[in-house]
Chain A
């Protein structure tokens, strides 16, 4: 018993229009091959949850018109600068932006992991981040006097989509220290995972690999996608393709440039550098 291996396109087919989809940050195993497949299939009205921040995949999805709303703590391309499609959509009001702060996203997912409706979080009081969140609450700490504290409701994504260094035959996946991927896999209804490499031996039975492994109990399906994080990096296996990301940042400054990027690198079969 385990999760099935399908093609990257079939994996993308499992994500419905309007889904709440959790994505990791750019430094943490992003399933870029699957994101390109999502754009190719013409997915619409996604709600993207950037855990805890969003970057390149969110920007590509926003530019492609696939996103209705994004909840995250920041959207940026890191050293390549601001996320151009996000910036354009946010100032035009074509995408709903729900601003959070990093630990609030983690807290909401940890509540979902535990199956509880909310968890408390320090900080936030007096910020405009809190003021604009009708879904968050401030209560008095019931265990102390005069101690206001914020409650963050659980977020249960429909899908956690990420890339893993290894997958085994059972559908267990190894992500190493990138434990935010375990959090989103645990919190989501299902995890859809592309894997860099398929291993014959069980990841769960190896004591050194098991602590960095997410059990197939959380995984709906997998796809084998070598260089599946490109142009983002994959742990110590390959670094981000800085030249490609800089080219994207340049091209995506205009809607026309973004369309050329999409035609060249997404809508055709992407060619890893």
Chain B
């Protein structure tokens, strides 16, 4: 069965978080949230999922600082970040382009990235748009750096970057991304042409494993319904009628 692009990205992220104990999802992240909820169901509930903006049954009872306190203590294993720009050393920019403090283009801001990127062992970068506008050689503003000096306390950092075209894994020692898989229908040449930074790749790049059968039914059924509680607009667009 043909999967829609968001479903392929959800499948890719779900694979990256398999086996995690506690996955937290921050602001405006419907695709990572869907992947996390799917992984919770598939793990039989062993993976705990905390969605920051969940309206009902929100997991946090100490206010919005609890997410960061949990991360600071090492109680969160996986978190997601994005970037208006992401560069080849996994620096992310959520602030602006062209000058600071008065940029030409302004984005909302760094949110918790300058802390979470350091604290959470497996940070997955997710950005649907895969273009040279987003994936740049060097970000204009470092909201949070991809790598740190050796004396910086940093139990966390980036492990992968998922886009609308492919999955990269990040190799901290080499400070570089490596192309890990291509989503169905996408090519290496296309990824090279649309990526503003240099990256490593194996001779033969596998296709991103997607979902079928029971897992796909779970995603389109109970996971989509739960997602709609927090992201009604997205759930309607991605999974259509019968949701929300």
Contact stretch, chosen from A31-39, A175-183, A200-208, A258-266? A175-183
Q: Which residues of B contact A91 (CB under 8 A)?
A: 102-106
Q: How many residues of A contact B (CB 8 A)?
A: 58
A27 lies within 8 A of B53 (CB)? yes
A147-164 interface with B by 8 A CB criterion: 147-149
Q: Which residue of A lies closest to B56 (CB)?
A: A236
Q: Contact between A99 and B28 (Cβ–Cβ < 8 Å)? A: no
Chain B residues whose CB sits within 8 angstroms of the CB of A104 once the complex forms: 114-115
Residue B181 at the A interface, CB < 8 A? no
Task: Select from chain B the residue with minimum beta-carbon distance to A88.
Answer: B106
Please tell me if the beta carbons of A129 and B114 are within 8 angstroms of each other in the complex: yes
| Chain A residues near B162 (CB-CB < 8 A) | none
A259 to B239, CA, bound (A): 37
Cβ–Cβ contact B61 & A106, under 8 A: no
Q: Write out the residue numbers on chain A whose beta carbons fall within 8 Å of the beta carbon of B63.
A: 28, 177-183
Shortest distance between the CB of A82 and any CB in chain B (Å): 7
In the complex, A125 has a CB within 8 A of chain B: yes
Does A101 reach chain B (CB closer than 8 Å)?
Answer: yes
Nearest Cβ on chain B to A179's Cβ, whole angstroms = 3
The answer, yes or no, to whether B233 is at the interface (CB within 8 Å) is: yes
Cβ 8 A contact of B109, one of A75, A125, A178, A239: A75
- Stretch in contact with the other chain, from B64-72, B163-171, B192-200: B64-72
A25 to B103, CA, bound (A): 24
Given contacts A148-B151, A177-B61, contact A99 B112 (CB under 8 A): no
Complex contact B102–A90 (CB within 8 A): yes
Among candidates B68, B109, B149, residue contacting A99 with C-beta atoms closer than 8 Å: B109
The number of chain B residues with a CB under 8 A from chain A is 53
Instruction: Compute how far the CA of A239 lies from the CA of B113 in the bound complex, rounded to whole angstroms.
Output: 28
- In the complex, A215 has a CB within 8 A of chain B: no
Describe A's contact surface by its main secondary structure.
mixed
Asked if B117 and A123 make an inter-chain contact with CB atoms under 8 angstroms apart, the answer reads yes
Known: A179-B63, A183-B65. A52 touches B112 (CB 8 A): yes
Q: Which residue of B lies closest to A235 (CB)?
A: B55
Q: Is the CB of A102 within 8 A of B115?
A: yes
**Chain B nearest Cβ from A162, distance in angstroms:** 12
CA distance A25 to B52 in the complex (A): 12
CB-CB < 8 A to A242: which residues of B?
A: 232-233
On whether the beta carbons of B119 and A123 are closer than 8 Å, the reply is yes
Contacts of A72 in B (CB 8 A): 109
Measured CB to CB, the nearest residue on chain B to A128 is B142
The residues of A that contact B62 with a CB separation of less than 8 Å are 177, 179
Specify which chain B residues have a CB less than 8 angstroms from the CB of A179 in the assembled complex.
61-63, 65-66
- List chain A residues, Cβ under 8 A from B107: 82
Taking each of B72, B101, B117, which has the highest tally of chain A beta carbons within 10 Å of its own beta carbon?
B101
* B77-135, CB < 8 A from A: 94-96, 100-119
Most A CB within 10 A of own CB, among B109, B118, B141: B109
- Contact between A101 and B100, CB atoms less than 8 A apart: no
Interface bits B144-158 vs A (CB < 8 Å: 1, else 0): 110011011100000
A70 CB to nearest B CB, Å: 10
**Residues in A neighbouring B65, C-beta threshold 8 A:** 52, 102-103, 106, 110, 179-180, 183
- A120 CA / B103 CA spacing, docked (Å): 29
A97 contacts B by Cβ under 8 Å:
yes
The answer to whether B148 and A126 touch across the interface, beta carbons within 8 angstroms, is: yes
> Which A residues form the contact surface with B (CB < 8 A)?
25, 27-28, 51-53, 72-76, 78-79, 82-83, 86-87, 90-93, 96-97, 99-104, 106, 110, 121-132, 146-149, 177-183, 233, 236, 239, 242
Q: A97-B101, A102-B112, A125-B152 are in contact. List 15 more A-B contacts (CB 8 A).
A: A79-B234, A91-B104, A99-B101, A99-B110, A122-B72, A122-B115, A123-B117, A123-B118, A126-B142, A130-B114, A177-B61, A180-B63, A181-B63, A182-B63, A236-B55
15 contacts across the A-B interface (CB closer than 8 A): A27-B55, A28-B63, A52-B112, A73-B109, A76-B108, A82-B107, A102-B64, A122-B118, A129-B142, A131-B142, A177-B62, A178-B63, A179-B61, A179-B65, A180-B65
